Structure 1
Amino acid sequence: MNELLTQAVEAHGGIARRQEPTEGRATLVSGGDLFSVKGLPQEPAPREMSVRLHEEHASVTPFGAPDQRTDFTPGRVSIKKLDGRVVAVRENPRRSFSGHTRQSPWDPPDRAYFNGYALWTYLTTPSLLAMPGFAVTEIEPWRDGDEVWRGLRAAFPPEIAGHSTEQDFSFGPDHLLRRHDHHVDVAGGFAAAQYVHDFVEADGILLPTRRRAYRRDADDRPLVHQVMVSIDLRDVRFR
């Protein structure tokens, strides 16, 4: 592995510890202007999220109704009743975003797809970068206030759904994640900078519980007057 990636994975709990559990769960509260722009504003009620740690699969409950949940994989996303009945399904969901701009409306399967890949990425960072198919290189560090954050640029393999093919991850002097830069391809490809805060340890794994994503300006500075996506987690556990 890349030296910085090795240090980052170790700081977040170590590769061996992250290989042991197969599932992650957390209580989620999310919001932000992106969902209102897309015509699907998010209620501030808590929801339950779950992800499989060694394959890209995620679910959120409830979704759209108290008795519904999502079922996401890169090639298929569905909305189901809790008894398993399918409410909506979309094969090859990435294709539905062709031609989208930041203002293009989403339908519920679009939102379920975005939720799925984003939440999976956030609960598996940074160890997902060590998975087969990822190409990782160190980039120029980013200075934020008095700190200098070393960065990794990751090229995602085609079988892994994500915000964009290339994404940047910045780590502090303690090798913990500080910032995650990407383009939101399913929303017209706008440039985003996501800052992470409030790390907790869950079953030996460290991860941030507070994320705030902003649009970036031409100098990659966050436009902090508008929160595009906010995510707060609690009750994180792995098994």
Structure 2
Amino acid sequence: MADLRDLVLDAHGAAQWKRFRGIESDMSIVGSLWAGKGWPEVLKDVRVTVDIPGQQLSYEPFTADGLRSFYRPDLVAIDTVEGKRLRERSSPRASFADHTPATPWDDLHLAYFSGYAMWNYLNTPFMFALPGFSTEEIEPWNESGETWRRLKVTFPNSVATHSPEQVFYVRADGLISRLDYFADVIGGVPTAHYVSDYRDFDGIKVPAKRRAYRRNADGTPMTNGIGVAIDIAAVRFF
């Protein structure tokens, strides 16, 4: 049986991804998470710009017209679109200490969470081949009449992410259908995050639809409410 990590990398277009250093994407992000944190529909229509090797990302507009966010694992900021820095926070993950799902966010909390999460999503699964990542195939999972192979991925400390260990569910064609994690910065919420509607952008397979739900103890999703809904309209790699 083919190595699962390599199958996933090939299916998503890893050979093409190696050519690029940046990503631009137009998308809409909504869901109960943002409303619960005090920012309903703040990311409804945004453009995301990513520096792949620099682990940097920005949203525009961000909280208001004329503003954009800046994310890097060690720094978040709010800038004007002309480049004037309005405020910033170093060591941003520390600012989430003792947060629960009900803790409200300021704009820099929002910039950090939405920044690292989207950097991860747009660079999955290609980041699995970067230094410091380790992968292991674990027992398969049956859902909706399908059997999905599962890849447990351990992240290095250098990559900000939801939780150090995550599990990715893989279809027979090698494309990811779901990922499980604990959202540490919002109190360790167990999450089942589904991806679908794959499209080809510059030879790379990208899921245009993402839906994240709280996860039950038995691994099933709580489908009575969507925590995060992401719809991607376009992606450009450069």
Q: TM-score, normalised by structure 2?
A: 0.97
Q: Does 1:210 align with 2:190?
A: no
The answer for the alignment partner of 1:153 in structure 2 is 152
How far 1:85 moved relative to its partner? 1.0
Cα distance change on mapping 1:44 and 1:159 into 2, 3 Å: closer
| SS of alignment partner, residue 26 of structure 1 | strand
- Work out whether 1:48 is the aligned partner of 2:43: no
% identical equivalent positions: 39
1:100-127 per-position Cα deviation (integer Å, ceiling 9, x unaligned) = 1111111110010011111111111101
2:38 maps to a residue whose letter is: G
SS in 1 for 2:162: coil
Deviation for aligned residue 1:50? 1.4
Instruction: Give the Cα–Cα distance (whole angstroms) in 2 for the partners of residues 53 and 59 of structure 1.
Output: 12
Alignment of 1:133-152 (within 5 A): 133-152=132-151
- TM-superposed CA distance for 1:87, in Å, is 1.6
Question: Aligned-pair distance for 1:43?
Answer: 4.0
Gap regions ≥5 residues in structure 1: none
Letter in 2 for 1:140: E
Aligned residues: 237
Compared CA separation, residues 219 and 153, structure 1 to 2 (3 A): same
CA contact (8 A) 2:117 2:161 kept: yes
How far residue 42 of structure 1 moved from its aligned partner, in angstroms, is: 1.9
Q: 1:65 to 1:88 in 2, by over 3 A?
A: same
The corresponding residue for 2:200 is 201
SS at 2:140 equivalent = strand
Aligned counterparts of 1:132 and 1:55: Cα–Cα separation in 2: 14
4+ residue runs over 6 A deviation:
none
8 Å CA contact retained: 2:42, 2:63: no
TM-score normalised according to structure 1 size: 0.96
SS at 1:162 equivalent: coil
Partner of 2:90: 91
- Residue segments in structure 2 that go unaligned for 5+ positions in a row: none
What aligned pairs does 1:57-96 form with structure 2 within 5 A after superposition? 57-96=56-95
Listed one character per residue, the Cα deviations across residues 153-173 of structure 1 (whole Å, up to 9, x for unaligned) are 111111110011111111100
What's the counterpart of residue 4 of structure 2? 4
2:126, 2:43 → 1: CA distance?
A: 29
Alignment match, 2:233 = 234
* CA displacement at 1:55 relative to structure 2: 3.3
Quick one: distance in 2 between partners of 1:23 and 1:176?
Answer: 22
Deviations 1:61-118 (A, max 9, x none): 0001111111101000111001111122010000000101111111110010011111
Q: 2: distance between equivalents of 1:44 and 1:188?
A: 22
Q: CA RMSD in A?
A: 1.2
